[in-house]
Structure 1
Amino acid sequence: METNGTQPGERRELRSRHRTRRLRATLLALTTAGGLLLTGCGAGGGSHSSSSDGANHTGFPAPAVTSGGEQGEDQNGERKDSSADEIAPSPDYLSTFALDVDTASYGYARRVLADGQMPDPSTIRPEEFVNSFRQDYDRPDGNGFTVTVDGARTDDTDWSLVRVGLATRAADDSDERPPAALTFVIDVSGSMAETGRLDLAKKSLDEMTDRLRDDDSVALVTFSDEAETVLPMTRLDGHRGKVHDAIDELETQSSTNLGAGVETGYATATDGLREGATNRVVLISDGLANTGDTNADSILERIADERREHGITLFGVGVGSDYGDALMEQLADKGDGHTAYVSNDDDARKVFVDQLPQNIDLTARDAKAQVAFDPETVARFRLIGYEDRKVADDDFRDDKVDGGEVGPGHTVTALYAVRTRPGADGHLATASVRWLDPDTRAPHEESGQLETGDLHDSLSSSPNTFQVTAVAAYFADSLRSADLPGDPGLDELATRAHALAKKTEDRDVRQLAEAIDEASRMN
């Protein structure tokens, strides 16, 4: 847990350091404002939009990078020194992470629970539970994000949940999106013979092929002991039958040389590279690599030039009751993409058909978020999840540091447990998101704020989407034996989830309630 606890004397010292940092941040922002190209998307919900010059002149400033030679405190409140040759330690009360739209952890947990088992805690990533549900954040008209910040007090004294919501423009099924050049890398190893693996992948690919546009292109690569390009990049105009024939001929073989599959997939994508198109590798596998290179770093290092030079991103689709979650997640994160998990026809249709525009197009590259909590109102805080996506605070505005790639129609939600100081009143937090334009690589930034007076008095009085977010986060946290303030326990979570499912008539929320029921019975 990220903590910042102080005594009264220390608090006065903190306020003095905070005022110094605020002046430094404002001066730096004024001198660098001309160098930043920032958008002016309005913030929605309970947030207030800050000015787009890197500092928030109406409240707590978006932090600026300072140079070395100063003292600071780490997230555990311990003082650290920095030499004159180093960047100063991150200021207190900052939390920085790369955006992530993965949902595979939640999908796989549901599958394991439905099979009558509890998921391995190491496969539980709370942010992927939270990001599996629809949100109602305002959306921008163009590329980039809107920022929504809201919160609600919990039953645990002085603790609140604070939600940072980021939304991209709505997905567009029309001819407005650029054409797609998709290279499907399909696992045909022996383990894919299980029902719900290769058969599900083939059915999904057939349905997706019928939904793609005539100016889209598809290539197919298979891998078992070795990898093979079974269909080079092929325009769908007049050739859909050829693609369907190649899909129908896919059959399982023996071992799983996933490294060879990824390498051949990127080579095929590079050979069929289309200028002006979204070029993406889509890996469909159970992730159970047992032959050849099984290390995500070295696999992607071999195709680094294609990935960086041509901007080819990786979308991982996991299948199977036994699933190599860690390897698939690492490949997607390091391949500038994301992962989803499918266990049945409904899941597959949602990923390959309903969400197809999100899985093809990009609206932001290297997107990072930074939340600055006000030390005068916040005593402690904890980011729920995103452990694998943390970024050094000083790297927030370093555009060479990798962030997350996000497409249209996506929302990204981060939930914090925040302990406010007794009687605290006023500014609570400023959330900022920074990203690069997918075409020009120009940097953009947007912010939103939250005041203590904007907190809902209780979770039950908060909007339905906020309540679903809280239930999903508490559920994930309980599955990995953590201890979030205000955790009501699985039985009460199930009751809340069923009530929300009835109120919202949302199939996804009903499935959440059913998954919590399964966990509660085995707990």
Structure 2
Amino acid sequence: MQRGTAKYSGALALLLAGGMLLTGCGAGSDGAASADRRTGAGGSYGGAPAPAATAPGGAADEVRPEQREEAGREVAPPDYLSTFALDVDTASYGYARRTLGEGRLPGPETVRPEEFVNSFRQGYQRPEGNGFSVTVDGARAGGEAGDWSLVRVGLATKAATGRSERPPAALTFVVDISGSMAEPGRLDLAKKSLGILTDELRDDDSVSLVTFSDQAETRLPMTRLQGNRTKVRDIVEAMEPQDSTNVDAGIRRGYDEAVEGHRKGASNRVVLLSDALANTGETEADAILERIDSSRREYGITLFGVGVGSDYGDELMERLTNKGDGHTTYISDETQARKVFVDQLPAHVELRARDAKAQVAFDRETVQRFRLIGYENRKVADEDFRDDSVDGGEIGPGHTVTALYAVRLRDGASGHVATATVRWQDPKTRKAHEETGSVETGEIDGPLWGGDNSRLQVTAVAAYFADALRGGSVPGTPELGELSARARKLAAATEDSSVSKLATAIEQADAITGGDDAPYEGEGEGEVG
């Protein structure tokens, strides 16, 4: 394995020892994954011997308790299923860009590869109806990766058809006005964001506003925007930073207001704008959301987190939105705020799917090992794939979700590689639906860095970059200098400014590390957690 930033080696060794870097395949018969269906410990590579491949979501053959030896130690045989809740968060990548722009490396614990990957357009074919399309493709990684391939599972929803065609929105803004929000790029950016959103929302949309520091206060009960836009703007402009950060109080008051102003048939959502640096009251995400759990479930109110600030409580915000049936993003300037609250507004206020999960069934006859890159905090027990009481992800119109796997095929393998299935519930009827897609060996035989697969290459660069920032353990992760060169070439080929920004971020990371890409001496190939 290549890559590893020397500055991270000590901390990353601890992370790797805890199995936090990369998820593997689903749990075996020991039921470990069932212990925590959303944040199960990540395994490592999947590999043979293994139970027979099954239809996605079906009951896998029981993994016998016998142990086998590999690489000088005994490990339990894994299965050939990989199951996770869908995730459209992008905050990890946005915060990494902000940190690198300030001349600092992001902490490895804040780097989530799936959020890097999902920050970029993929070009998947979209479905005609309100469900998902499923695209599965890939390529040979080449170079130091040897006989490893990358397999991309892409899920997409239909884009919003127009501003006037979505359901009305009932949005409760919960705004952090604690002392830490006085820093430029925090409360001032939150106020600009709310001003942009006030202009963008329709007359039949409704908003309420809650602020919090050491206590929470309702500044505006749920109010239709028609005839009240000036009133909303005046209340927003009057916000000033005050004392400590009691996120718990803000969330509870926000949900009280959302329930009080709940609109049947509307998209009811709490929007939290904060640096998430909780220091007063309850500071743990699970405990905060436990207090409003009944109203969250009964009324279907989802939580959208918007992170700000150079110091940012990434873990708290991510846990809050995961448990709050929502997602999170990060903004550092007005350009990003306009992208979130104008260009992407329908995706953030409207739902196309609830409790969406994916399960990928690899074929044991062709696949020797596989590794899911990221999604550690979104893991779901394999047997819970079709249990609709188990939380999944909430997905809006125009969203795409990408899962990238490192896969080693068996020598001379030919034929079926994997089948991917997405399962979700209709937001209105709660009826469950499924869609599938599959891939054959011939479809992942081409070279990664050649041919007409620029979007797959962007996906790979983003995933490899995240892996490099976390210390490097994905097969074939290039050095940062090579990654930035590939990103620059892809930016020119795609004419995509977001890819240019990715190249800049990689160059900044390379400069900070001084081009020191000493190999990381951590997790080895073939280990099963």
How many residue pairs are counted as aligned between the two chains? 465
Provide the C-alpha distance between the structure 2 equivalents of 1:399 and 1:198, rounded to a whole number of angstroms: 39
Provide the C-alpha distance between the structure 1 equivalents of 2:103 and 2:320, rounded to a whole number of angstroms: 29
TM-score (norm 1): 0.86
* Range moving further from structure 2, 227-236 or 165-174: 165-174
Cα shift at 1:79: 8.1
Letter in 2 for 1:485: P
Determine the structure 1 residue equivalent to 2:18: none
SS in structure 2 opposite 1:454? Answer: helix
Residue 163 of structure 1 pairs with residue 152 of structure 2: yes
Q: Is the 8 A contact 1:72 1:79 kept in 2?
A: no
Determine the structure 1 residue equivalent to 2:130: 143
Determine the structure 2 residue equivalent to 1:54: none
Cα shift at 1:91: 7.2
CA displacement 1:463-513 (0-9 Å, x = unmatched): 111000000000000000031111121000000000011111111000000
SS in structure 2 opposite 1:461? Answer: coil
TM-score (norm 2): 0.85
Determine the structure 1 residue equivalent to 2:80: 93
Provide the C-alpha distance between the structure 1 equivalents of 2:66 and 2:213, rounded to a whole number of angstroms: 51
* Range moving further from structure 2, 399-408 or 482-491: 482-491
Residue 465 of structure 1 pairs with residue 465 of structure 2: no
Over the matched positions of the two proteins, sequence identity in percent amounts to 65
Determine the structure 2 residue equivalent to 1:153: 140
Provide the C-alpha distance between the structure 2 equivalents of 1:309 and 1:75, rounded to a whole number of angstroms: 48
CA displacement 1:358-382 (0-9 Å, x = unmatched): 0000000000000011111111110
Cα shift at 1:72: 7.2
Residue 120 of structure 1 pairs with residue 144 of structure 2: no
Change in CA separation of 1:487 and 1:91 when aligned onto 2, cut-off 3 Å: closer
Cα shift at 1:349: 0.7
Cα shift at 1:142: 2.2
Cα shift at 1:66: 6.1
CA displacement 1:86-138 (0-9 Å, x = unmatched): xxxx9711100000000000000000000001110000000000000011111
Query: Which one has more relative contact order, counting CA pairs under 8 Å at least 6 apart?
Result: 2
Residue 238 of structure 1 pairs with residue 227 of structure 2: yes
Which one of the candidate residues 446, 463, 466 is aligned to 1:476? 466
Residue 341 of structure 1 pairs with residue 345 of structure 2: no
- Any unmatched runs of 5+ in structure 2? 1-23, 25-43, 514-529
Determine the structure 1 residue equivalent to 2:414: 425
Letter in 2 for 1:64: G
Q: Is the 8 A contact 2:458 2:487 kept in 1?
A: yes
Residue 520 of structure 1 pairs with residue 513 of structure 2: no
Which one of the candidate residues 52, 59, 69 is aligned to 1:65? 59
Provide the C-alpha distance between the structure 2 equivalents of 1:99 and 1:279, rounded to a whole number of angstroms: 20
Provide the C-alpha distance between the structure 2 equivalents of 1:3 and 1:72, rounded to a whole number of angstroms: 18
Which one of the candidate residues 196, 207, 228 is aligned to 1:218? 207
Which one of the candidate residues 194, 198, 204 is aligned to 2:187? 198
Which one of the candidate residues 472, 482, 485 is aligned to 1:495? 485
Provide the C-alpha distance between the structure 2 equivalents of 1:91 and 1:384, rounded to a whole number of angstroms: 17
Equivalent residues in 2 for 1:314-463, closer than 5 Å: 314-462=303-451, 463=453
CA displacement 1:312-358 (0-9 Å, x = unmatched): 00000000000000000000000000000000111111111111000
Change in CA separation of 1:306 and 1:452 when aligned onto 2, cut-off 3 Å: same
Provide the C-alpha distance between the structure 1 equivalents of 2:328 and 2:201, rounded to a whole number of angstroms: 20
Provide the C-alpha distance between the structure 2 equivalents of 1:461 and 1:166, rounded to a whole number of angstroms: 24
Provide the C-alpha distance between the structure 2 equivalents of 1:475 and 1:172, rounded to a whole number of angstroms: 34
Provide the C-alpha distance between the structure 2 equivalents of 1:476 and 1:364, rounded to a whole number of angstroms: 28
Q: Is the 8 A contact 1:72 1:92 kept in 2?
A: no
Which one of the candidate residues 289, 294, 298 is aligned to 2:283? 294
Q: Is the 8 A contact 1:226 1:261 kept in 2?
A: yes
Provide the C-alpha distance between the structure 2 equivalents of 1:251 and 1:480, rounded to a whole number of angstroms: 37
Provide the C-alpha distance between the structure 2 equivalents of 1:197 and 1:186, rounded to a whole number of angstroms: 10
Determine the structure 1 residue equivalent to 2:40: none
Provide the C-alpha distance between the structure 2 equivalents of 1:79 and 1:391, rounded to a whole number of angstroms: 22
Determine the structure 2 residue equivalent to 1:507: 497
Q: Is the 8 A contact 1:3 1:75 kept in 2?
A: no
Cα-Cα RMSD = 1.9
Change in CA separation of 1:126 and 1:310 when aligned onto 2, cut-off 3 Å: same
- Any unmatched runs of 5+ in structure 1? 23-60, 81-89
Provide the C-alpha distance between the structure 1 equivalents of 2:59 and 2:504, rounded to a whole number of angstroms: 46
SS in structure 1 opposite 2:449? Answer: helix
Q: Is the 8 A contact 1:314 1:337 kept in 2?
A: yes
Cα shift at 1:63: 4.0
Give every structure 1 segment of 4 or more consecutive aligned residues whose post-TM-superposition deviation is greater than 6 Å: 72-80
Q: Is the 8 A contact 2:46 2:371 kept in 1?
A: no
